[in-house]
Structure 1
Amino acid sequence: MRFAVSYGTAFNGTDPDRLVAFAQHAENLGFEALYVQDHIALYPGADYGAGPLPPTLPYLDPLDCLGFVAATTHKLLLGTGVLLLPYRHPVVLAKRLATIDILSRGRMRLLTVGLGALPKEAHAMGVDFRSRGRRTDEAIDVLRLLWEGGPEGVGYHGEFFDFDDLCSYPKPHETPTLPIHIGGSSAAAAVRTGRRGDGYFAGGRLTEDERDRQIELARKTAVEAGRDPAEIEYTRWGSAGMSLEDVENLADHGVNRLVVGFAGADPAQQHDQMSEFAERFHLSPIATA
């Protein structure tokens, strides 16, 4: 099992020193990656199903955060949980992601994308809330097309994106394309994973049986699409207090990675929780030589 940490600026604040200290402590303890969350804009009454979101929550831009973290760490992988893909143009995004990957020497490898659940956020970005799934599918295809395209240029003609003879350079660091994981809890997210995803980051409030059906749907869809289902990574949320038995049970369900959030208004308390967790699961830092 691989373990990553989640850092939510909406709840931990926007102090850059606190973010850097959190990321460096996670790296020093042996956590694989740091994930950050995403919202472009909130509004009074915003509710994504688990309760209202105060409109004053300070969500920093996740890609700017990850670029900042990359400059202060050495081995920590960079992840989003999740980036709201339908609200970003894939031509611009291809450049931004490749830039972070190059500057971090190949650590922008846990990009997880989702649709978003706030209708007014979609409307503010000029996106029809009902079309965001189709837009996301096209955006994934465009990202990969641009990363893999050569100097002769590539073209795409879809419902939302249309261009000819386009070149996007530089390319990601030492790889033809970046992995794209799919976040969500719906059958549509599972199907999208099977057709297009390199991984599935299960969200929502589902039972274990429902989650099993989702990952099996993703794998079944991968087979139908001519893809290898064994190559789909399975990520889930974990908790600071989980036991070895909890982790072993999730591993039995096929989970490869757990993303853990550590609460606490006091940074020192957060660090102590992370240290205790790392000791409990015998994490060890990766050499940075």
Structure 2
Amino acid sequence: MKFAISYGTPAFGTDPDRMIAYAQHAEKCGFEALYMPEHVVLYPGAAFGEMEIPPDLPYVDPLEALSFVAAATSRILLGTGVVLIPYQHPVVLAKRLATIDVLSKGRMRLFTVGLGTLPGEAAALGVDFRSRGRRADEAIDVLRLLWSGGAEGVSYEGEFFNFDNLVSFPHPVGDGMPIHVAGSSRAAARRAGSRGDGFFPGGMLSPEERAAQLALARASALEAGRDPDALEYTRWGGITMSPERAAALAEEGVTRVVVGATSDDPAEQEDQMSAFAERFSLAAP
């Protein structure tokens, strides 16, 4: 099992020195990747379910922030948890992601997408909230198409995106870029299987529902002619989790756990990361 760590500016702030120190210590400890979240805009009254979100939370652009982190590190992979892909134009996004991947020497490997849950955020960006799933499907297809195209160009005709003979270089390092799909719904599980390289569910799901969604993701991969065994399965975990809990997650098919420091004090955050690394015998190559 692989272990990654998240850095949320809504909780930890936007101080650049603190962000870099956190990422460098995570790399030193041997964490596989650093994840960062996204919200493009917030507004008074925005809420996750019944929990209202303070509108002044500082969400930085995750791709800009990860490029900043990449310049100050050398090994740790870069992940998003998550980019709200219906609110991004995939032609622009393909260029941004490939640029980060090339300049970080192939470390933009855990690009994870979701739909977003705030109707006001969709409205601010001119997106019909009800179309998010269809837009996400097309955006994923466009990204993969542009990254695989040659000098002769590629064309696409969809409900939301249309173009003829586009050429987008550079391409990501190696054979394209993995795209992971997040979400707590069965639709997200189907999308992960049919189009994604990984599934990253969240939310307060029952064990039965989690198992059903993973099975659905794998079945969707098989139906799409893809290898269901190649689908990575990522879950959130606590930084105080025990090896026994990690073993239980592995039994459920989990291949990666993402944790986050809980302290607001930078020194204590480093202590939490170090303790986790020691508990699980992580070691940077």
1:215 aligns with 2:218: no
Q: Which amino acid counterpart does residue 14 of structure 1 have in structure 2? A: T
Partner of 1:163: 163
Shift of residue 17, structure 1, vs aligned partner: 0.3
Structure 2 CA distance for aligned equivalents of residues 254 and 263 of structure 1: 26
Q: Superposition pairs for residues 13-32 of structure 1, below 5 Å? A: 13-32=13-32
Shift of residue 51, structure 1, vs aligned partner: 1.4
Q: Which moved more, 1:32-41 or 1:237-246?
A: 237-246
Structure 1 CA distance for aligned equivalents of residues 267 and 282 of structure 2: 19
Question: CA 1:220–1:50 in 2, change beyond 3 Å: closer, same or farther?
Answer: farther
Shift of residue 176, structure 1, vs aligned partner: 3.1
Structure 1 CA distance for aligned equivalents of residues 253 and 175 of structure 2: 27
Shift of residue 226, structure 1, vs aligned partner: 1.0
Partner of 2:254: 255
Tell me the SS of whatever aligns to 1:239. Answer: coil
Q: Which amino acid counterpart does residue 139 of structure 1 have in structure 2? A: A
Structure 2 CA distance for aligned equivalents of residues 267 and 278 of structure 1: 17
Structure 2 CA distance for aligned equivalents of residues 237 and 194 of structure 1: 19
Structure 2 CA distance for aligned equivalents of residues 156 and 225 of structure 1: 20
Q: Which amino acid counterpart does residue 80 of structure 2 have in structure 1? A: T
Identity of aligned residues (%): 65
User: Which sections of structure 1, spanning at least 5 residues, go unmatched?
Assistant: none
Shift of residue 177, structure 1, vs aligned partner: 1.3
Partner of 1:116: 116
Partner of 2:102: 102
Tell me the SS of whatever aligns to 1:258. Answer: strand
Partner of 1:65: 65
Tell me the SS of whatever aligns to 2:52. Answer: coil
Tell me the SS of whatever aligns to 1:220. Answer: helix
Structure 2 CA distance for aligned equivalents of residues 3 and 50 of structure 1: 31
Partner of 1:281: 280
Structure 1 CA distance for aligned equivalents of residues 204 and 227 of structure 2: 28
Tell me the SS of whatever aligns to 2:107. Answer: coil
User: Which sections of structure 2, spanning at least 5 residues, go unmatched?
Assistant: none
What is the alpha-carbon root mean square deviation over aligned residues?
A: 0.7
Partner of 1:80: 80
What whole-Å deviation, never above 9, does each CA across 1:52-107 have from its counterpart, x for those lacking one? Answer: 11000000000001000000001100000010000000000000000000000000
Shift of residue 50, structure 1, vs aligned partner: 6.0
Structure 2 CA distance for aligned equivalents of residues 49 and 252 of structure 1: 30
1:181 aligns with 2:203: no
Structure 2 CA distance for aligned equivalents of residues 269 and 284 of structure 1: 20
Q: Which amino acid counterpart does residue 116 of structure 1 have in structure 2? A: G
Partner of 2:125: 125
What whole-Å deviation, never above 9, does each CA across 1:87-131 have from its counterpart, x for those lacking one? Answer: 000000000000000000000000000000000000000000000
Partner of 1:228: 227
Shift of residue 263, structure 1, vs aligned partner: 1.3
Structure 2 CA distance for aligned equivalents of residues 221 and 281 of structure 1: 33
Q: Superposition pairs for residues 192-207 of structure 1, below 5 Å? A: 192-207=191-206
